[in-house]
Structure 1
Amino acid sequence: MAFLPLCIGDSYSVTSQNGIRLMTFNIWQSGKNVEHGQQKIAKHILLVNPDIVALQEVYANVTRNLTLMLGHPWVAVERNHEYPDTAILTRHVIVPNTNLSTTGGVGAKIMLRTGYMVHFWSLHLDYTSYGPYAANNKLVDRLDQIMAGENVAASGRGPQIYEILNLPMMKKWMEKSDDVPIFIAGDFNGPSHLDWTEQTKKIHGDWVVRWPATKELEENGLTDTFREIYPNVLTNPGITWSTVNKFNPEWNYTIPEPQDRIDFLFYRGPVVPYQIVTYSGCEKPQRIPFHEKNDYPSDHFAVFADYSFM
Structure 2
Amino acid sequence: MRKLLWICLLLIASIAAKSQEQSEFTVLQWNIWQEGTKVTGGYDAIVDEIIRLKPDFVTFSEVRNYNNTRFCDRIVQSLKAKGETYYSFYSYDSGLLSRHPITDSLTIFPEKDDHGSIYKMTSKIKGHKIAVYTAHLDYLNDAYYNVRGYDGSTWEEIPVPQTVLEVLKVNDASLRDDAIKEFIAAARKDIAEGTIVILGGDFNEPSHLDWIRDTKDLYDHNGLIIPWTVPLMLDNNGFIDTYRTLYPDVLSYPGFTFPADNPLVPVEKLTWTPKSDERDRIDYVFYYPHPAIELKDAVIFGPQGSIVKSQRTSEKSKDNFLLPQGVWPTDHKGLLVTFDIN
Shift of residue 235, structure 1, vs aligned partner: 0.3
Cross-structure match for 1:180: 195
Shift of residue 151, structure 1, vs aligned partner: 1.5
User: Which among 163, 181, 184 is matched to residue 165 of structure 1?
Assistant: 184
Shift of residue 101, structure 1, vs aligned partner: 2.7
Cross-structure match for 1:267: 287
Q: Residues 260 and 253 (structure 1 numbering): CA distance in 2 closer, same or farther, change over 3 Å?
A: closer
Q: Is 1:94 the equivalent of 2:96? A: no
- Asked if the contact 2:148–2:276 (Cα under 8 Å) also holds between the matched residues in 1, the reply is no
- Asked if the contact 1:151–1:159 (Cα under 8 Å) also holds between the matched residues in 2, the reply is no
User: Which among 195, 203, 210 is matched to residue 210 of structure 2?
Assistant: 195
- Asked if the contact 2:87–2:99 (Cα under 8 Å) also holds between the matched residues in 1, the reply is yes
For 1:62, the aligned partner's letter is F
Aligned residues, how many? 280
Secondary structure, counterpart of 1:202 in structure 2: coil
Secondary structure, counterpart of 1:189 in structure 2: coil
Shift of residue 190, structure 1, vs aligned partner: 0.7
Shift of residue 257, structure 1, vs aligned partner: 4.6
Q: Is 1:117 the equivalent of 2:129? A: yes
Seq. identity, %: 25
User: What's the TM-score, normalizing by structure 1?
Assistant: 0.82
Secondary structure, counterpart of 1:227 in structure 2: helix
- Which digits, 9 at most, give the CA deviation of each residue in 1:172-218, with x for residues without a partner? 11223xx3211011100010110001121111221111111101111
Q: Is 1:67 the equivalent of 2:80? A: no
Cross-structure match for 1:217: 234
Extract unaligned runs of 5+ from structure 1.
1-14
Secondary structure, counterpart of 2:260 in structure 1: coil
- Which digits, 9 at most, give the CA deviation of each residue in 1:242-291, with x for residues without a partner? 2138966699985135001000000013221111010116x96999999x
Q: Is 1:28 the equivalent of 2:33? A: yes
Bigger Rg over Cα: 2
- Segments of 4+ moved more than 4 angstroms: 245-254, 283-290
Q: d(CA) in 2 for partners of 1:247 and 1:196?
A: 26
Cross-structure match for 1:295: 327
Q: Residues 77 and 269 (structure 1 numbering): CA distance in 2 closer, same or farther, change over 3 Å?
A: farther
- Asked if the contact 1:25–1:54 (Cα under 8 Å) also holds between the matched residues in 2, the reply is yes
For 2:282, the aligned partner's letter is I
Q: Residues 285 and 141 (structure 1 numbering): CA distance in 2 closer, same or farther, change over 3 Å?
A: closer
- Which digits, 9 at most, give the CA deviation of each residue in 1:38-83, with x for residues without a partner? 111111112221000000100212112111111142111243xxxx
RMSD between superposed Cα atoms in Å: 2.8
Q: d(CA) in 2 for partners of 1:164 and 1:253?
A: 30
The structure where helix makes up a greater share of residues is 2
Q: d(CA) in 2 for partners of 1:251 and 1:57?
A: 17
Q: d(CA) in 2 for partners of 1:231 and 1:16?
A: 32
Shift of residue 99, structure 1, vs aligned partner: 2.0
Q: d(CA) in 2 for partners of 1:69 and 1:240?
A: 27
User: What's the TM-score, normalizing by structure 2?
Assistant: 0.75
Cross-structure match for 1:10: none
